[in-house]
Structure 1
């Protein structure tokens, strides 16, 4: 398995960041994703464990299922365009009121995908951190 492990720091609270993560319609505002939908429901509404979101970036369409949620702390998901893809976003509140974000994932596409996914997901984490501060 190949993977990535990236992090970012935000002045925003973990609850604010968590709401952005579970609301698909926000993703294009803070990430390189072009469009986001909820498979069954309103993309502007927060999703729950078991829900599926569909992301479009260029011609690539990725369908991901949220597998577990710990409110304000963790989101786990899988699916997408990578083989055997599993990922999680962990939020750790800091004493100053901000949050440390750790985004990790594994997949079976081989080692050549590792550097690209690390770069891409670092953009995701940093974009989320910055947008949440607004």
Structure 2
């Protein structure tokens, strides 16, 4: 049985500024609960990633391998979790220009846990963790164009 979560946040930054931050794995530890980020292979965590890149995030003693599967410039960032906790996991970050200015961020996923009966726990945990991610992204993107290495 698949499970889902959806969290939202608002950033005063433009969609292109928010998108530029999402594409750079090296920024993620600066605005999220993630401790470190790397890109497998010859990918540069400082530069913008592309479809097919696999990013490795570490938080505490845990790690997550995520493959970028779809990018729509300034609008959508999609990834799959390549780890061993889920049978399937597809996350989506949708960016929408807000009528009052800035960007509305919707971070969601559909997933199927590997272990039976663990779905409610993962939905509870991921909803809280990903809300921190969305809020951190929203705040960090403000002024991102002015940070070295953060421009698109």
Deviation digits for residues 25-50 of structure 1, max 9, x if unmatched? 00000000000011122100000111
Mapped to 1, the partners of 2:3 and 2:82 lie a distance apart of: 15
Moved over 3 A (4+): none
| Corresponding residue pairs, total | 134
Mapped to 1, the partners of 2:51 and 2:100 lie a distance apart of: 30
Map of 1:70 onto structure 2? 72
Map of 2:126 onto structure 1? 117
Q: Could you tell me how far 1:96 is from its partner in structure 2?
A: 3.6
Q: Could you tell me how far 1:80 is from its partner in structure 2?
A: 4.3
SS at match of 1:126: helix
Q: Could you tell me how far 1:95 is from its partner in structure 2?
A: 3.4
Deviation digits for residues 78-134 of structure 1, max 9, x if unmatched? 014441111100000123430000000121121221111101100000010011113
Map of 1:132 onto structure 2? 141
Q: Any unmatched runs of 5+ in structure 2?
A: 114-118, 144-152
Mapped to 2, the partners of 1:96 and 1:116 lie a distance apart of: 31
Map of 2:16 onto structure 1? 15
Q: Any unmatched runs of 5+ in structure 1?
A: none
Structure of higher CA gyration radius: 2
Matched, 1:37 2:46: no
| Within-5 A mapping of 1:78-117 | 78-81=80-83, 82-83=85-86, 84-109=88-113, 110-117=119-126
Please, what TM-score do these two structures have when normalized by structure 2?
0.84
Mapped to 1, the partners of 2:99 and 2:8 lie a distance apart of: 18
RMSD value, Cα: 1.1
